[in-house]
Amino acid sequence: MEGIEQLDTIISFRDGGSGIARELQRASSRSQNGRSERGLHSAFRDISTWCDQFSLPKTISDIAKQLYKRADEEKLLRGKPLEAVIAACIFIACRQAHVPRTFREICNLTHVQKKMLGQCYKALEQAFNLSPGASTTHTASSPSTGPENLLVRYCNHLDLPPNVQAICSDIIIAARKHGIADGRSPVSIAGGAIYFTCHLLGKVKSVRDISAVAGVSEGTIKLVYRLYYAEKEKLVKQEWIDEGKAKLERLPFDSTK
C-alpha cells in the first residue's frame, strides 16, 4: 500500500544504443498511466485527505485504503460514485479500529448522501462478511458508536467539565434500563442526554450549540429531552441532589429554553 503512493520507477536513457531503454520507457509509461492505477492513486489521496480533516489516525487511513483496493479489484461497487465508496470504506475502517464515527458524521465530512452511503456500506458488508448492525438509524448494537462513547467527543467540543460527561453517561444507562427513548439513534440520545444533564447540573448549553456538535436537529434533541424530563425521577440519583450537584428544578418544562 505504501509503495503505491511513495515509490517511482525511473528508466535510464543509457542503453548502449540497443533500444531497450526506449521500450522500457514505453512500458513504464503505460503502467503508470493506466486508468485503474490512476483511479487508485486518486482514491488513496482522497482517503488520506478526508482522514486528516477528520483527525483520524493513520491506522484508519490504511484500513480504508485496503478496503477500497479490494473493492476496486473485485468490482464490488461498479457504477457507484467514487466519493460514496470511499466514505463507506472510511466508515467500515472506523468500526474495525474501534474509533466511533456515525453515519451522519461521515456524510458531513464527505458530503455523500446518507442513502447512498448506506447502499455502499451494505454492499461491502455482505461482500466482506462484516458483522451486521451498523445501519443509518440503529447503531446501538455496535459498542463503538453507542451514545456513551459519543459523549466523550461531544462534551470535549462543548468544553464541558468531566463531571458532566460522567453523570450524563449514568443517565443514559438508567434511561436504557427503564426503556426511555428506546429506538432513538445513539446520536439523538447523546444530544438529548447532554442537554438534559447540562440543565440538571447548571452548566447550561443551548440546544443550538449541542445540535451543531452532534449533527442532529434541534427538534430531535428536544424530543429526547422531553422523554427524559417525563421520567426524570428515575434518571436522577438522589445522591447527586444530596451532594448539591443536581437540582430537578433547574430542568425547564419547556425544552425550547
Task: Write out pLDDT tens, residues 101-157.
Answer: 788 888 888 889 989 998 998 888 888 776 544 433 334 334 445 788 888 888 988
Alpha-carbon distance of 187 to 100, in angstroms, equals 11
Q: What is the CATH number of domain 34-127?
A: 1.10.472.10
Using pLDDT thresholds of 50, 70 and 90, give the confidence band for residue 55.
confident
Asked if the domains 34-127 and 146-250 are classified in one and the same CATH topology, the answer is: yes
Per-residue pLDDT for 209 more than 50?
yes
What values do phi and psi take at 203, rounded to 5? -110, 60
Distances (CA, A) of 95 to 74, 90, 117, 131: 22, 9, 15, 10
What values do phi and psi take at 80, rounded to 5? -85, 150
The topology under which CATH files domain 146-250 is Cyclin A; domain 1 (1.10.472)
pTM of the model: 0.56
Dihedral-angle region of residue 205 (phi above 0 means left; psi in -120 to 50 means alpha; beta otherwise): beta
The residue that leads in pLDDT, 257 or 120, is 120
Parse the chain into domains and list their residue ranges: 34-127, 146-250
Q: Which three cell numbers stand for residue 211?
A: 445540535
CB 39 within 8 A of CB 72: yes
